[in-house]
Amino acid sequence: MTWMIKDAFLHELLGRMSVEEKAGQLNLLTGAMDATGMKHSGDLDAKIRAGLCGAVLNVYTPAATRALQELALASPLGIPLIFGYDVIHGHRTIYPIPLGLSCSWNLNLLGRCARMAASESAADGLHWVYSPMVDISQDPRWGRVAEGAGEDPWLGSEIAAAMVRGYQGNDLADPASVLACVKHFALYGAPMGGRDYHSVDMSRRAMEETYFPPYRAAISAGARTIMTAFNDIDGIPASANRWLLTELLRGQWGFQGWIVTDYTAVTEMKNHGTAATDADAARQSLEAGVDMDMVSEAFLSELPALVESGAVREEQLDAAVLRVLETKWDLGLFRDPLARCTHQPAMQPCAENRQLAREAARESIVLLKNEGEVLPLSKHATIALIGPLADSRRDMLGCWIAAGDESLAASPLDGFRGVATVVHTRGCGISEADEDLLAEAVRAAKQADVVVLVLGESWQMSGEAASRTDIRLPECQRELAKHILQTGKPCVLVTMSGRPLELTWEDSQFPAILQAWALGTEGGHSLAEVVFGDAAPVGKLTMGFPRSVGQLPMTYREKPTGRPFNAAEKYSSKYLDAPNDALYPFGHGLTYGKFRHGAVSIDSPEMQPGGTVTVSAEITNLSAYPATETLQLYLRDLVAPVSRPVKELRGYQRVTLAAGETQVVSFQITDANLSFPGRDFQPVVEPGDFEAMVGPNSRDLRAVRFARLS
């Protein structure tokens, strides 16, 4: 009955709309509270008052959204607006950048963070967040790796689903729920040369095996909106690609929500060279399956004339409008359009949210190296905290901080000062040397017991439009590091960045390295907890760190090739000047303490169709205190009709062991774990030999074989 009422209401409303008003519902304009693109919307108030705007981005707070919503309600048909915003890793409370948070491998934590962001966003007048970004990437030169979950499609799929469920909850009308917008559809994480907005050229098999799975997982989790990518696919821009948006996304995958372009992507088709005019671009996008035009206004300005001329069927326009109106109904906007615009929310993160942000930051930190157990540090030592990022609250937040306030964030210095005696100096700028600062840093190091160097990228050096060809630490920071090492004082390196860095030299020089990403509002406190041993690091890399930029793009999931790597054979797949593998591989991450990894066993050498086999691995905590490890399961199909990766993540378990404790950790393997896209790209499970591998990362694995029977 409710569905019938909804359907009747929406169709009656659609019947009263002019073609111009229909085009208006597909028109997404930007306010001026933030700038996230090159074009700004003129006459925003006038367009809303005339019913020529369906949604607004870059406007938040109850007061600001209420003012615009009241204009929309005063329009001829009184259709309420949807308010959207780039809430990427928190709204007012900022948790770690998505790449960092993914290193927690904690799906419950990821979901809770998304739920926190949804609650804060909804309280600030928002209905829609442009997250999660689920683009798989194997190239850290691309700045937007900061916004994703790394290189692995299986883990990326699990994270995508957890984030969608966290944002949307069980009911979109819930005042703490927001629409998730999965982006960027599709393949945006593989631009040529790692250069943002560049072309993407890949095989259908790479799409199906590596890049598509997280999008599908997000859709299966109920995501209501999808954002198109800037790139072309097979020469056709994503925003005009009917095969991608209609045949694949809606047809084969059954997506029932609505599709929005990225910022001005419709009119950018003229730059792609696939549309001569705005009208041509608007026609192509609508016919491809796009429902909403972000900021370019080509739909608003061109669709009425295209419908009148017969170049676009009004039925196509109606279908897009109904998808948008249906979402507004489900959000409760027709029942109470001012529901999220009434009460002024807390402008500062509440204690509960800050505590969650601190937990998220702790679990995102990855201990890359700890020779000689330099870490954790003694709280009784005098610490020289040195580096351009050591007291930078803004850089601790990273890119895309929504309504986050840097003055409320904790820098490393803020965290350290509450724990130990600290002497602080910058040593240099992010990219600028300073002889006076360098001399001051050397003096501070000589006076201290231990040095903690906090180096890396500023927040502007990663994110959108922030690709880099050189992903080493800036030269002045490397010089600072050399001078500090020459003092002979024990030295810990903390790297903050929005991407994996090339740390080959640093790995050869520093006994202990912590990767701290951009940890968010509570990052400085969490970093101090880990450095001084109040918490042990548990993070595991979701993207490998290269030995050289020349390895990129790079993934542990490589294919074997016809001439696999063989150190003794010249004519095998390798470099002359570097090993093939990562400096720090996918899944790598140490903790305080040591483990012994025992043999891997399997309960049966044969697996029946539809049946299971169980792989078990023994692990012992050799430490004198409890310690936590994340064991990972990888599989390889040894013979298949298409070449398969040498290993693929298919499961993991985090285990905490008491001092001296031994546990047997078991993984159950089913046909779902063995499935892959066959020659026709349909999922298939075939009989044959498989290898199961278990270990603490994608490189250090113990293996056992089994056969899946026909």
DSSP 545: B
Q: Which residue has 């950018």 as its token pair?
A: 268
H or E stretch including 456?
strand 450-456
Helix H, strand E, coil C: the string for 269-323 is: HHHHCCCCCHHHHHHHHHHHCCCEEECCCHHHHHHHHHHHHCCCCHHHHHHHHHH
**C-beta separation of 467 from 473 below 8 A:** no
For residue 263, give both structure tokens: 């910022």
Residue 471 phi/psi, 5° resolution? -105, 25
Cα dist from 495 to 106, 221, 260, 461, whole Å: 22, 34, 36, 14
For residue 268, give both structure tokens: 């950018």
- Backbone dihedral region of 313: left (phi > 0), alpha (psi from -120 to 50 degrees) or beta? beta
Q: Is 262 a catalytic residue?
A: yes
Q: Which amino acid is at 413?
A: L
Question: How does strand 179-185 pair with strand 225-228?
Answer: parallel
Which residues on adjacent β-strands are paired with residue 633? 651, 694
CB count in 10 Å sphere of residue 32: 11
Residue 665 phi/psi, 5° resolution? -105, 130
Q: Which amino acid is at 180?
A: A
For residue 98, give both structure tokens: 């998505």
Cα dist from 341 to 144, 179, 625, whole Å: 32, 17, 51
Active-site position among 135, 139, 196, 262: 262
Which ranges of 588-636 would DSSP assign to H, the alpha helix? Answer: none
Distance of CA 617 to the CA centre of its chain: 31
- Backbone dihedral region of 473: left (phi > 0), alpha (psi from -120 to 50 degrees) or beta? beta
Q: Which of 460, 446, 445 is nearest to 499 (CA)?
A: 460
Cite the active site residues.
262
